Copies of this chain bind each other. A is one copy, B any other.
């Protein structure tokens, strides 16, 4: 995301706060928040859903003022209580209330998702789902299915992610102007299918995404499609086609100056060249990738490039490798430890350094246990 651009989920969360003030008739606080949000809208990433939510809340804000105004002429003892007033508004505007309840939960879900609190995100999305019947617009329903599919993907609930992304996709394809979302749907299909090692179907989705992204001339999405295709082959140990696609991703990102996406792609190209024993090529990509990581303040990838350096020296630098793993542990990045420890174990196996190899395999096991543990934070109380 470009720096200075405010994510819509953060603004959504602020509108939720605004709603709380409106519901308690806290006019001054509500006015302040409304003004703040109006400012933030100018710097927000485009999100038509959020703009709709804002308009609804503006309308609800006005309702609050309209209900309060005539009361000023009444004596205190004749004024209805605020909770009575609130009930009146809710029952006269049941559809509006339903819609607002939907958006409160939907944007709260997005907000939790952005914090990578997936379980919490799903809990709010499920609340939103109960009010989905108030959402008449098909596209808004599709947005809902899309968001929930994303969250299930990160929770590794593959089956449900696929069901929901299919729901979203089937709505978007009926429309003329939702090609970007259709491309993103193909990505969600593809990454889920890769989790199941169904690479053939995954590649099919990424290629569909690629063709559409090229037609739409969206460099970010073209690059992402190439990158995903690269992953698809890399995960099958088909290193040459993987390199080809990663190279294409890199040149797409570079020619459009999408610098943030570069360290990741450079990292995998570098890793593959090392695995193939092409040390000159590897050094070249290592150097450029490391520079991009520094340029974009991407500390995680900077550390990972240092890891490659440590591993693929003539005499691997065990301390350097451990330093990298310690960094990842401190950040709870156990999925990365799993991947990298497995690379080390396999590399040492090839080198016939079996003792070290086996000890890294044990680290892979340890990382997996940590991952299972962190996936299982579903709060089910009986």
A residues at B contact (CB < 8 Å): 119, 122, 155, 157-160, 162-163, 166, 169, 189, 193, 195-198, 205, 342, 345-346, 348-349, 352, 354-355, 357-359, 361-362, 364-365, 369, 372-373, 375-378, 380, 382
Per a CB cutoff under 8 Å, which of B160, B197, B342, B348 touches A157? B160
Per a CB cutoff under 8 Å, which of B159, B376, B382 touches A196? B376
Known contacts: A358-B345, A358-B361. The answer to whether A378 contacts B196 by CB under 8 A is yes
Contact partners of A376 in chain B: CB under 8 A: 158, 193, 195-198
* A-B pairs with lowest CB-CB distance, top 8: A196-B376, A361-B361, A354-B354, A354-B355, A357-B358, A197-B373, A358-B358, A162-B380
Contact partners of A382 in chain B: CB under 8 A: 166, 169, 189, 205
In the complex, A159 Cα to B161 Cα: how many Å?
12
Contact partners of A373 in chain B: CB under 8 A: 196-198
Per a CB cutoff under 8 Å, which of B119, B166, B378 touches A380? B166
- Are A160 and B158 in contact, CB atoms less than 8 angstroms apart? no
Contact partners of A365 in chain B: CB under 8 A: 342
- Are B159 and A159 in contact, CB atoms less than 8 angstroms apart? no
Contact partners of A193 in chain B: CB under 8 A: 376
20 A-B Cβ contacts within 8 A? A119-B159, A157-B158, A157-B160, A158-B375, A158-B376, A160-B160, A166-B380, A189-B380, A193-B376, A195-B376, A196-B372, A196-B375, A196-B376, A197-B372, A197-B373, A198-B376, A205-B382, A345-B361, A349-B362, A352-B355
Chain B residue, CB-CB nearest to A165: B380
Known pairs A196-B375, A345-B358 / 16 extra A-B pairs, C-beta < 8 Å: A122-B159, A157-B158, A158-B378, A169-B382, A189-B380, A189-B382, A196-B372, A196-B373, A197-B376, A342-B365, A345-B361, A348-B358, A349-B359, A352-B355, A358-B358, A361-B364
Cβ of A43 to closest chain B Cβ, rounded Å: 36
Contact partners of A346 in chain B: CB under 8 A: 362
Known contacts: A349-B362, A358-B345, A380-B189. The answer to whether A195 contacts B162 by CB under 8 A is no
Chain B residue, CB-CB nearest to A163: B380
In the complex, A382 Cα to B207 Cα: how many Å?
13
Contact partners of A380 in chain B: CB under 8 A: 162-163, 166, 189
Cβ of A211 to closest chain B Cβ, rounded Å: 14
- Are A155 and B159 in contact, CB atoms less than 8 angstroms apart? yes
In the complex, A373 Cα to B194 Cα: how many Å?
9
Per a CB cutoff under 8 Å, which of B358, B375, B377 touches A354? B358
Contact partners of A354 in chain B: CB under 8 A: 354-355, 357-358
In the complex, A377 Cα to B198 Cα: how many Å?
9
Contact partners of A197 in chain B: CB under 8 A: 369, 372-373, 376
Chain B residue, CB-CB nearest to A170: B382
Contact partners of A369 in chain B: CB under 8 A: 197
- Are A159 and B378 in contact, CB atoms less than 8 angstroms apart? yes
In the complex, A369 Cα to B354 Cα: how many Å?
22
Chain B residue, CB-CB nearest to A342: B365
| From A119, A348, A361, A372, residue with most partner B Cβ within 10 Å | A361
Contact partners of A364 in chain B: CB under 8 A: 361
